[in-house]
Structure 1
Amino acid sequence: MSVDPSSLVVTLGAAVGALVLGVAPQVEVEQAAAVSHTVQERAGRLLEGVSAAIDSLPPGAQASAEQVVTETSERLQAEIEALLPEDAVSPDEGVGESGVGETGSDAKQVGTIEPTYSTAVTPMLPPAPSISPFTSTAPDVPIGAVAVFAPWLKKAGTICDGITAPVLAALYSVENGFRYGPEAPVSPAGALGPGQFMPGTWEIYGKDADGDGKADVFGIADPVMASGRLLCDDWNLIEQWKKDGRVVGDTLSLTLAAYNAGRGAVLRSGGMPSGLPDYEIETKPYVGKILAARPAFERMLSPFMALEIPAQASDLGQQVIEQAFRYLGLPYVWGGGNIQGPTGGGFDCSGLTSFALHAAAGIVLPRTSETQWHVGIEVPLDQAHAGDLVFGNWQTGGPGHVGIYLGEGLMVHAPTTGDVVRIGEVFPDMRARRIV
């Protein structure tokens, strides 16, 4: 049976409205969690049906239909979350573990921790928004987490043709949920950082990629580039083994299996590792998860692929950007945000810059865009560095808007009521000031 895309969207909109409007707007605190759970259950059943309907559309209509229903589902998610008291919305706690890998000289190169978000992990990334619920294979990873890693995923994805940025992103979502920093969890097998490197493997592949003078397994740049090099080495080796008739199978699948179980496991099995329980319960599902998540990350990373890693960016400038990226997708709230983070559920433009500068460099800015304009020194916009502030919407009292410059004519900012923290083009009237 064919499905008309416009009818599908109208039907979904009506259903979402019924779901949301059917809930009393004034919900007692003690009832909020139960009501939200009920709405989510009903929404889940609806979304399953819509996903099947989208799959039945002609290929040319699926993308546009999915985009519209995704936007609708995000509105539903916002309505659901609004039912919960602020202190009842918290990330999942606990860390799941899968398998311990091989032993001996071909020991598991990296450990795998299922991605959850624990309050013990810093930096903490907001739990929403995540990938569309209509993508059944998409991991529950905040867009802000991916954005922080995106420039380095892009760079590492150019080392060889076989390993792309979406592959690396999918791998990192499965390995450790993009969690980084000195308090990021270590696997029971001793695997470290967002790339889950065993110490011996890190000694070989860990390099200083961002020029800060150290190879930091708990950082972002160094592990991502190390993963790119390791995967490309394995890719080339497996391609040669296939030519020699020593292994058979899809090269990418075998490369991912080697990252998890070791190259020796691939060679001994003549292809996908098999014969041991760890291979069956860990390695094969691990490869399947990454391959299934790759299309979702292709869509997720597309807005960031135009961004370069500016050569002139200072370490502090990059940290300012990373702090702002943590909250991509968070709603604009007039007067929202301060040095501690979002308030009232979001940020306004100067609240975002206040938070990012303080979180990255300990700098306390005045609260408004007009007063922030008087901090630091003005630089020509064509000489602005990543992490500089850019000001626009000039009025009698000064600038009415402020954002954080990314390079390539782009900024991250909290635009206006009804919008969210996002990446956008620098306004034509903008001027730049260097704070860090």
Structure 2
Amino acid sequence: MKVLVGAVAAVIGLVLLAFLGVVVLIADDDASAAETSDGGGGLQGVPEEFRKWISQADDDCKEPGMTPALLAAQLYQESGFKTSRKEATSEAGAQGPAQFMPGTWATWGRDSDKNGEASPWDIGDAVIAQGRMMCSLLGSAKNSGYPGGVQALALAGYNAGWGAVERFGGVPPIWFAREKGQKEGQTFHYVKVILATMKRFEGPGLFTVSGSGSGADALRKASTRMGTPYAYGGGGPAGPSNGFCDGNNGYLNGSCAASKTVGFDCSSLVQYSYWPKLKLPRTAQAQYGATSDHPVARGDLKPGDLLFWAHGGSGFIYHVAIFAGDGNVLHAPRTGRHVEVAPLTSAMPQGDYVGATRP
């Protein structure tokens, strides 16, 4: 299912979910986001430390309903890829990035990362156990004959237990497990949201980077964040985070989108990509100042080189991108967009291009 791609094409999509006889039409919040879908075989917008294990869990499962994007969207819904005990422990006692209850973990947990301990807090152990459980549920869903689609049925089984799916002959209805003041029951909402957000994590099956060294390594690291939302002021060496609005930046359709978005802006993506081997400063202007003593001509660009833009080609640097090879850059463009690959000639206004540096 893995494919080789050189760039990311724009996708404008609507996700149509049908289960329990209910058709739910969910529009992509960002119709201009540049993303690529290869049918679910690829992965983007996933923290680097999760990618290996998601791919392994996908490879281990032979059920056709299993995809890397399904596992990624489920992990995002369960924990937001959080791994600390403070952030990834639910009020009900579910633990780790895949949110296993102790009794369920006893059934599915293994020492998959071979560190001597089977723990729901270990990323490898948790993701492989999640994949193992989901694979079993996908098989049960396929053999059940229940309506709604195998992915929806399996997700419902993961959230509420397969017994609940059998009780209702499909995904539990909207009122099931609904708390006071909520419009939708927990399981119905869980299934709907995950199926809707899978598109966000579908991406190139393989992003290849030629060469070696700090620049190529930084580009490889940055490529694992493709599909992550742009958040003005958000992100840093540890990864994406909520941004902020400053009176001019971070707004979308009149409201402050940055404060509600976990993501990167252009310079935090660059800082994250090179960290900790090279601890670049936080802003595009400062990054230019820190690297401008190593300028690179446009014809000599190599993967990992930094490219800068300023209004009119001089003055304050407002944008930075990473050269991705083949005339493309990888960058976080602006509010309402995602980390993407784009042609250098159109990533930003050509008249604003200042030049490139090699960190």
Higher strand share: 2
Higher helix share: 1
- Return the index of the structure with the highest Cα Rg: 1
Q: Which has the higher contact order (CA 8 A, sep 6+)?
A: 2
